[in-house]
Chain A
Amino acid sequence: GAGVSQSPSNKVTEKGKDVELRCDPISGHTALYWYRQSLGQGLEFLIYFQGNSAPDKSGLPSDRFSAERTGGSVSTLTIQRTQQEDSAVYLCASSLRTSGTNEQFFGPGTRLTVL
């Protein structure tokens, strides 16, 4: 079956421009997460959507970052007025909310380079 997909796979932009990153979660998964990963490093939590509940935005690093999830499925992460320190791989994950292991299934990521 289809896994989590993300687009674009690579994005190069100039400092100050806005970018939109897209995530298509696994069908039926109610939870969706965005993370940021710097080269060879661990994952930094950004935002978490669960069903129709208000998202947990506690990881967003500044007000230049925002995310939406439309219809409980596709999500878009928007970064306004990009800065060089925004360069990283942005990973999306989805999961079935259960009372157990909460396995998160990750997409391949979008590599963002801000020149």
Chain B
Amino acid sequence: TQLLEQSPQFLSIQEGENLTVYCNSSSVFSSLQWYRQEPGEGPVLLVTVVTGGEVKKLKRLTFQFGDARKDSSLHITAAQPGDTGLYLCAGGIPGTSYGKLTFGQGTILTVHP
């Protein structure tokens, strides 16, 4: 059973379209992070959200943490081919070792020119 469920698992869109990736759980997280990973490389942190209801923007990317700190979303506006990659959400579980993260299974995004 996956503690963090990401949807969709695969997303194939045309350049210029908007998209949203979801990360859901029945558990409360102390913080939630989004990473992006390209083939042959390790994941790179995009953002960390820590407060319920928090919204953070990073250029064309908007991240939201649910009020109850159980879910998060990543919205990309006007997607570009350079956005192609594996997007991973990861949560810190209260009461576990500090720094220990639980990852979702990822969303593979392909943006076609």
Contact = CB atoms under 8 A, between A and B. Distances in A.
Contacts of B105: 41-42
A50 B86 contact: no
A76 interface: no
B5 to A, nearest CB: 10
Contacts of A93: 42
Interface of B: 2, 4, 6, 31, 33, 40-45, 48, 50, 86, 88, 90, 92, 97-106, 108
Interface in A90-115: 91, 93, 95, 97, 100-109
Nearest to B10: A40
A63 B43 CA distance: 27
Nearest to B30: A102
A97 B108 CA distance: 30
A58 to B, nearest CB: 8
A4 B105 CA distance: 23
Contact of A48 (B44, B45, B88, B100): B100
